[in-house]
Structure 1
Amino acid sequence: MSVESFKWDNGIAEWAMITNRYGKLLSYNLPRYNRSYATCKYQGYITEMLESNIYPTFVDVGAYIGLFSLIASYHCRRVVAYEAHPFYFGILLFNMRKRHVECKYCFVSDFHAFKEYQIPKMTDDIKSLIVVNEGEPYNIEVVTLDSEYGFGIPGKVLIKLDVEGNELNVLKGSEKILKKHYIHWIIDVHLNRGITSEEVLKYFPKRKITMISPKV
């Protein structure tokens, strides 16, 4: 996998094209993040899982620009990508325009409502959203995985969870589907946001199909 930078914006962030054997993805972020995103340690594991062709459904929670959704679109019958950041959701739509991927502009958590969020300034947290009570917030629909899939999903399912510190809230809103043993979870635990692997593992007391992947 490679990253080709082709435009700089005031030396702070960059447009880039991330390339792998499945195609190219437009990206925009800090230079350091684009490089780490292309070489992240857990990417190989998720790619192997998707290429195994044993998961008809892939749910990408925190899809960002669609790296894993793109790969999944070649191996899964159904791919659903959730992205709550309005800027990156636009890039996700662009990157998935020729693939059979359902792109959903939603914030996944432990309740169902519309809530106000704000995008941080251009920092290391550019990918995240923060709750605000003033300023210039925007409304976005908040959903739970139970409200989306609690009725059941046919066949084996792979869920990738990368939500910048909101992992525990997503799991709190997944009580029903956590009981379904045909679902394999891959969770990126954001230790820099105060989340621990032990807290996440409490939701999987009798299951060994969860991969905990600290941020690199």
Structure 2
Amino acid sequence: MKFFVLNRPCIGVQLSIYNTTFCLAQWSDIFVLDPRYEKAVTRAIIKILNQLSRRSEGVCFIDVGAHIGRYAILVAKLVRKGFVIAVEPEPNNFRALVCSIRSNKLKNVIAYRVAAHDVSGEMLRLYGHGAASSVAIQWGDRQCLVESVSLDDLLKDLPNYVKLSRHKLIMKIDVEGNELNVIKGAIKTLTNYRPIIICEILSRKNLEYVAKYLRNFEYKMQSLDDRNYLIYPQELEQVKPWWTRLK
């Protein structure tokens, strides 16, 4: 563990794990760096990346609700072809995320401090802090205003050197109850790029809404654990049966 002083990028603590440096937004964030944290999600992401690597496909990993960058940083270090887009609205989380990107000298991560939503340009109330911040669920009294953006709009305005058509999209969504709105804001992305999605869904009600909505785009779902789901284009079942065996 190393202490350092910067212009308030995070709480001033760096942790090294998996040969990677992470910065914390608050002490309690350490739990997401435990190897047992969302083990099924980590395993699924690595298997997908390995398969795409064997097929020499470039990868664009879109981390929606990136928090302090557990997945964004790990994937950025694994992919040789491609890049990571990290979306995180909570100010302290975002500072820690940027600190982690810089500490690992990563050049293939683009970070945005916005809240993914179904529309762009609205000011939303973000409740809570840390890994539990949400625009959909009121966690306590702590709140701040954040700007919304649809993923379709965000991906349309990427830097010129980023060519989505040359990459396979993988999307991880962890937005504490706002997952349906995030997906509704990605209609063109679902239609044109057919991303593979790993999504945390907290309630049975939201699961039903998401499953019903994605059937319109010929997507299928399977559970990875009690709250995370693999969501994939139906056509992948015919090409590569392994897509349905990621547990």
SS of 1:198 mapped into structure 2: helix
SS of 1:78 mapped into structure 2: strand
Cα drift, residue 67 of structure 1: 1.4
CA distance in 2, matches of 1:187, 1:78: 20
Equivalent of 1:91 in 93, 96, 112: 96
SS of 1:169 mapped into structure 2: helix
Counterpart AA for 1:187: C
Task: Report what 1:142 is aligned to.
Answer: 148
More helix by share: 2
CA distance in 1, matches of 2:76, 2:188: 26
Counterpart AA for 2:192: K
Task: Report what 2:207 is aligned to.
Answer: 197
Cα drift, residue 32 of structure 1: 8.4
CA distance in 2, matches of 1:32, 1:81: 19
Question: 5 Å matches for 1:1-216?
Answer: 17=15, 19-21=17-19, 23-27=20-24, 28-30=26-28, 33-34=31-32, 38-41=36-39, 42-52=41-51, 53=53, 54-74=57-77, 75=79, 76-97=81-102, 98-100=105-107, 101-120=109-128, 127-130=132-135, 138-149=144-155, 153-154=164-165, 155-180=167-192, 182-191=194-203, 195-205=205-215, 206-208=218-220, 210=221, 212-213=223-224, 214-215=226-227
Counterpart AA for 1:59: I
Counterpart AA for 2:200: D
CA distance in 1, matches of 2:180, 2:193: 19
CA distance in 2, matches of 1:82, 1:55: 20
Cα drift, residue 31 of structure 1: 7.1
CA distance in 1, matches of 2:36, 2:63: 17
Alignment length (residue pairs): 198
1:57-100 C-alpha deviation (Å, 9 max, x unpaired): 11111111111111221304121100011000000000011112
Q: Give the gaps of 5 or more residues in structure 2.
A: 4-12, 158-162, 229-247
Distance 1:146 1:178, change over 3 A: same
Counterpart AA for 1:142: S
Counterpart AA for 2:145: N
Counterpart AA for 2:148: V
Counterpart AA for 2:82: R
State the TM-score, normalized to the length of structure 1. 0.75
CA distance in 2, matches of 1:118, 1:63: 15
State the TM-score, normalized to the length of structure 2. 0.66
Cα drift, residue 40 of structure 1: 1.3
Counterpart AA for 1:26: C
Counterpart AA for 2:43: G
SS of 1:179 mapped into structure 2: helix
